Amino acid sequence: MAGRIQGDGGLEIRSVQPFDLAQPGDLTLAAGRKTLEKIEDCPASAVIVPPGISSPRKTLLQVEHPKLAFARLLEHLSRTSFVAKGVSPLAAIGDGCRISPEVSIYPFSFLGDGVSVGNRVTIFPGACVGDGCELGDEVVLHPNVVLYPGIRLGNRVVIHSGSVIGADGFGYVFDGERHIKIPQTGTVIIEDDVEIGANSCVDRGTFGATVIEKGVKLDNHVHIAHNCRVGSNTVMVAQVGVSGSVNIGRNCIFAGHSGVVDHVTIGDDVRVMMKTGISKDVPAKSSVSGQPAMDHREAMRIQAIIRRLPEIYEELKELKKRMKDEG
Amino acid sequence: MAGRIQGDGGLEIRSVQPFDLAQPGDLTLAAGRKTLEKIEDCPASAVIVPPGISSPRKTLLQVEHPKLAFARLLEHLSRTSFVAKGVSPLAAIGDGCRISPEVSIYPFSFLGDGVSVGNRVTIFPGACVGDGCELGDEVVLHPNVVLYPGIRLGNRVVIHSGSVIGADGFGYVFDGERHIKIPQTGTVIIEDDVEIGANSCVDRGTFGATVIEKGVKLDNHVHIAHNCRVGSNTVMVAQVGVSGSVNIGRNCIFAGHSGVVDHVTIGDDVRVMMKTGISKDVPAKSSVSGQPAMDHREAMRIQAIIRRLPEIYEELKELKKRMKDEG
Amino acid sequence: MAGRIQGDGGLEIRSVQPFDLAQPGDLTLAAGRKTLEKIEDCPASAVIVPPGISSPRKTLLQVEHPKLAFARLLEHLSRTSFVAKGVSPLAAIGDGCRISPEVSIYPFSFLGDGVSVGNRVTIFPGACVGDGCELGDEVVLHPNVVLYPGIRLGNRVVIHSGSVIGADGFGYVFDGERHIKIPQTGTVIIEDDVEIGANSCVDRGTFGATVIEKGVKLDNHVHIAHNCRVGSNTVMVAQVGVSGSVNIGRNCIFAGHSGVVDHVTIGDDVRVMMKTGISKDVPAKSSVSGQPAMDHREAMRIQAIIRRLPEIYEELKELKKRMKDEG
């Protein structure tokens, strides 16, 4: 990532801070209109900006993608080298586990039988890994994460506290008197570089696998039901719920509280707005909102009219009255 | 369950698989139009179908309720006999507990004082059972389930990881300066054959009990507040939320993200569509949708008109214009 | 709190019960119209009522704020003196912790390095307290609560089971091929007298702190994203979701399933109705509902017209027909 420095190239930076918190000695980011307008008022000594921005007093670092440059910088600065603490004597490890030498397995974590654990893996206290699970390299299971038996995690998968991977899918058949459970004999596959927030759930497949493809990011309280596929790099914000056997493309973005009924296919690059309820297939590259979901532009048009309904209704009454007077 | 075999009655079946995954040697299910149309293309050797279906090549098993027959078959095949692992020396067991001889209590699970545990119960790692709880036979508490003190579970109750039963109901009185907590001195009663998904919550009663009747099935992330009653065999899909003192009938189905305000009564056999917000009583056998909830057919009619609002609005403007021109 | 007794001032009270459950010998509350109408039919021996209510048979305790008096009474009766059980030998305590002498720290709870724990604190089984956390006096962490490192809790903070405080905020920058994580280096500050329900999440700040001010009450399954501020005494019902950097005032009430997009400011004393989706600033003292959110009275007006749309549409068709006939 190449950049151009405008100002004092020899400036010494104390720390990297967000725009609102930056102090003299800090490097910060101004990428949007709101912050760019306030560059002169910001106490930061240096600012990462898009090309074409100038300042009489600040040292500027002009780059093509300022937000990305800032993130890479932060990522670089916050990178801590992994320190292997080994396997705590207070952890419970099942029979036949294959555990790489460089790991940190904390007290009160539980590994069932036949678990395999890659290099530089961290398993925090209270995490429970069921029989036969396979964890790639550099996996992090935060405290109290639960993996049911037979789950596969790729490399660099991070799962935050309280999330549950591989609980039974929700499937029953009613025989007129009681719900008979459909046995949930499948599994969950979570590919490389997936991060899952706190208290989320990914259910195992009824048969086969529920698949979270590489680079997917799920926020807190997200629910993914049995046999879904979530395409690579798709992002879901908190409290999204996806019913069974939904096929979701790549690079989609689901806003908070949105939901999908079962057996629906959603294409690549779809944007789903807050609280949208999807009940049928959504083509690639579309944006949807509303309950039931529709094209977002159409929904906006309709919403604008809905806001004016009281006035429209008055007009209609007026028309009726005039018709009557005239008729 | 009687069935009629059409084709090779002596066929040997390797495994039972869903339609999409079935291979030669497998038995599968075709119950709906979509799968019935594709029977000849499915590699499965034998197919469970409704009466009246025939095939030139496949061995068919005709039964009155194919999906149910399939579920019973799966249930039968997946039944594993309970193996009592005993009480782990790494579990913490309080004073005065009554624990049946045939149980599996895993490491790092905690039982408070005076807990009673029925036969063939499994308590997985990290589960916490408060003082005085009573667990019936064949109960399963998955890892990290929490029961607050005094909770009663019937027989065959299954609770998935991370669910919390008996936390305090959410009740305060504001005195003008601070919220004073209303002590939550009640309990939770969960009857036989209830299954609760992962990361769900059933709060204890303020007084008396929150009651989940027999055969109820709750999915993940479901919230049931204090003093609710959920009638037998009612099903709630993920992320449903029910406020305090709601009385829900039997055999209801709540779709995802639906919610109910407090002190409402909902009759038997009610269907609640996705994202519905119920704010008043709902009579038995009705279907409701929308926020605020209304009769589902009415909501569908209204929704159809809402979709046409831009066009309707144009017509109204046209009418006005013509009136004006004519007037 | 002064009251006036009408009837038998020497009556002996066996227990305090809610109106529906009260029996002879009990004291109960009748504060609303529904219960006041049924005072004579209630078996309770004594009833707390507002001023001006009389009864031929019951002993009444007239007070200015009956519900509050009842809550204070319950609070007083249910108060149990703290019994310090000490630090369980089955707990794991890190290096350099400062733990007050009067605490109850249960088995399988984990404290990282440098944790400080105030007086009369209870840490239940399976709770995990990250390095450097600070807990004030009389804090209660229910089973399986997780505090990530560096979190600060004030006095009398109560957190129910499964809640996760300080997980990473949900922030990434997409570089065209993958999402680069924005390091979440901030913290969470939870002030005095906050109570958080079960399975809720409060994420740490990206930089700086997510702040939950004193007296806030969050129900179950609530999600508070990075860098939010929730003003003192604000109440959020179950399954509310708040995106990043939202600034919420004091004394607000959020009903269930409501949500807020990021970087919005919400004033003091705002009421947010069930399932509302807030996407822009909300001024103090307003009530909002709908998705997208609007003034609640306006939303009610619009909703009334929406309910009549089928009829309105018929009228419009009729008008058109008459115009055509006449034209």
Residues B202, A162: Cα–Cα separation, whole Å: 17
The per-residue pLDDT for range C235-245, each reduced to its tens digit, is 999 999 999 99
Instruction: Judge whether B144 is closer than 8 Å to chain A, CB to CB.
Output: yes
Q: Write the CA distances from B219 to A72, A225, B254, B288, integer angstroms.
A: 39, 10, 10, 20
Give me the pLDDT at residue C327, please.
60
pLDDT of C79 above 80:
no
Please give the distance of CA A286 from its chain centroid, rounded to a whole number.
Answer: 19
Residues A102, C215: Cα–Cα separation, whole Å: 45
Tell me the three state secondary structure of residue A326: helix
Give the mean pLDDT of C252-281.
97
Residue to mutate among A214, A235, A252, A257, with most C CBs inside 10 A, is: A257
Provide the sign of the torsion angle of the four alpha carbons C45, C48, C49, C51, taken in this order. positive
Tell me which DSSP letter residue B204 carries: P
Give the mean pLDDT of C123-130.
98
Q: Do A197 and C243 touch (CB under 8 A)?
A: no
Instruction: Judge whether A232 is closer than 8 Å to chain C, CB to CB.
Output: no
Pick from B197, B293, B288: which is nearest to B239 by CA?
B197
**In chain C, what residues touch B115 (CB-CB under 8 Å)?**
none
The per-residue pLDDT for range B168-223, each reduced to its tens digit, is 999 998 888 889 888 898 999 999 999 999 999 999 998 889 999 999 999 999 99
Average confidence score pLDDT of chain C: 93
Give the mean pLDDT of C40-49.
92
Give me the pLDDT at residue B327, please.
60
Q: What is the 3-state secondary structure (H, E, C) of chain C?
A: CCEEEECCCCCCCCEECCCCCCCCCEEEECCCHHHHCCHHHCCCCEEEECCCCCCCCCEEEEECCHHHHHHHHHHHHHCCCCCCCEECCCCEECCCCEECCCEEECCCCEECCCCEECCCEEECCCCEECCCCEECCCCEECCCCEECCCCEECCCCEECCCCEECCCCCCEEECCCCEEECCCCCEEEECCCCEECCCCEECCCCCCEEEECCCCEECCCCEECCCCEECCCCEECCCCEECCCCEECCCCEECCCCEECCCCEECCCCEECCCCEECCCECCCCEEECCCCEEHHHHHHHHHHHHCHHHHHHHHHHHHHHHHHHC
> Which of C13-47 are b and which e, b meaning 16 or more Cβ less than 10 Å from the residue's Cβ?
eeebbbbebbeeebbbbbbeeebbeebeebebbbb
**In chain A, what residues touch B141 (CB-CB under 8 Å)?**
none
pLDDT more than 90, % of chain B:
71
Q: Output C208 or B95, whichever has higher pLDDT.
A: B95
Give me the pLDDT at residue A327, please.
60
The per-residue pLDDT for range B218-227, each reduced to its tens digit, is 999 999 999 9
- Residue A178: exposure state from Cβ atoms within 10 A (0-12, 13-18, ≥19): middle
Helices (H), B42-159: 66-78
List, as ranges, residues 162-191 from B with C-beta within 8 Å of C.
162, 164, 167-168, 170, 172-175, 178-183, 185
Give me the pLDDT at residue C130, please.
98
Percentage helix, strand, coil for chain A under 3-state DSSP, each rounded to 5: 15, 30, 55
Give me the pLDDT at residue A13, please.
84
Report whether B87 contacts B103 (CB < 8 A): yes
The per-residue pLDDT for range A215-245, each reduced to its tens digit, is 999 999 999 999 999 999 999 999 999 999 9
Q: Write the CA distances from A50 to A2, A26, A47, integer angstroms.
A: 12, 18, 10
Residues B158, B190: Cα–Cα separation, whole Å: 10
* Shortest Cα–Cα distance, C224 to chain A (Å): 9
Q: Which residue has the tokens 């074409």?
A: A52
Give me the pLDDT at residue B11, please.
83
Give me the pLDDT at residue C5, please.
86
Give me the pLDDT at residue B1, please.
53
Give the mean pLDDT of C261-281.
97
**In chain A, what residues touch B161 (CB-CB under 8 Å)?**
128, 146, 148, 164, 167
- Least confident range from C80-84, C217-221, C256-260: namely C80-84
**What element of type H or E holds B62?**
strand B59-63
Residues B103, B118: Cα–Cα separation, whole Å: 8
pLDDT < 50: residue spans in chain A: none
The per-residue pLDDT for range B106-142, each reduced to its tens digit, is 999 999 999 999 999 999 999 999 999 999 999 999 9
Catalytic residues of C: 226
Q: Write the CA distances from B222 to A146, B201, B230, integer angstroms.
A: 18, 6, 12
- Give B56's Cβ-side CA count (13 Å radius): 2
Residues B197, A181: Cα–Cα separation, whole Å: 13
Q: Do A239 and B239 touch (CB under 8 A)?
A: yes
pLDDT of B10 above 90:
no
**Residues paired with residue A5 on neighbouring β-strands, in sequence order:** A61
The per-residue pLDDT for range B274-322, each reduced to its tens digit, is 999 999 999 999 999 999 999 999 999 999 999 999 999 998 888 888 8
Report whether B262 contacts B281 (CB < 8 A): no
ipTM value of the model? 0.92
Residues B41, A60: Cα–Cα separation, whole Å: 65
Kindly indicate the confidence band of residue C33, based on its pLDDT and cuts at 50, 70 and 90: confident
The per-residue pLDDT for range A146-189, each reduced to its tens digit, is 999 999 999 999 999 999 999 999 999 888 888 988 889 899 99
List all chains that touch chain C, counting a touch as 3 or more CB pairs closer than 8 Å: A, B
CATH of domain B3-78: 3.40.1390.10
Instruction: Judge whether C302 is closer than 8 Å to chain A, CB to CB.
Output: yes
Residues B313, A57: Cα–Cα separation, whole Å: 55
Question: In this structure, which topology does domain B86-295 adopt according to CATH?
Answer: UDP N-Acetylglucosamine Acyltransferase; domain 1 (2.160.10)
What is chain B's Cα-based Rg?
26
**What element of type H or E holds A18?**
none
pTM for the structure as a whole: 0.94
**In chain A, what residues touch B144 (CB-CB under 8 Å)?**
126, 128, 144, 146, 162
Average confidence score pLDDT of chain B: 93
Backbone angles phi, psi at C301, to 5 degrees: -60, -50
Kindly indicate the confidence band of residue C70, based on its pLDDT and cuts at 50, 70 and 90: confident
pLDDT of C140 above 60:
yes
Please give the distance of CA A156 from its chain centroid, rounded to a whole number.
Answer: 15
pLDDT of C72 above 90:
no
Domain ranges of chain B: 3-78, 86-295
Give me the pLDDT at residue A261, please.
97
Q: Do B274 and A291 touch (CB under 8 A)?
A: yes
Q: Write the CA distances from A35 to A4, A31, A55, C261, integer angstroms.
A: 20, 7, 13, 19
Give the mean pLDDT of C24-51.
90
Q: Which residue has the tokens 């740490």?
A: C204
* Shortest Cα–Cα distance, C156 to chain B (Å): 12
**In chain B, what residues touch C160 (CB-CB under 8 Å)?**
164, 167-168
**Residues paired with residue C164 on neighbouring β-strands, in sequence order:** C146, C201
**What element of type H or E holds A153?**
strand A152-153
Give me the pLDDT at residue C283, please.
98
Measured in residues, chain A has a length of 327
- Termini Cα distance of chain A: 75
- Least confident range from A303-307, C57-61, C107-111, C198-202: namely C57-61
Give me the pLDDT at residue B213, please.
98
pLDDT of C111 above 90:
yes
**Nearest 5°: CA angle at C312, between C308 and C315?**
150
- Give A67's Cβ-side CA count (13 Å radius): 15
For the record, the structure tokens of A74 come out as 């932060």
Pick from B163, B96, B78, B76: which is nearest to B124 by CA?
B163
Instruction: Judge whether B275 is closer than 8 Å to chain A, CB to CB.
Output: yes
Q: Which residue has the tokens 């619009």?
A: C302
Q: Write the CA distances from B115 to B73, B123, B144, B184, integer angstroms.
A: 36, 13, 17, 20
Q: Output C85 or A178, whichever has higher pLDDT.
A: C85
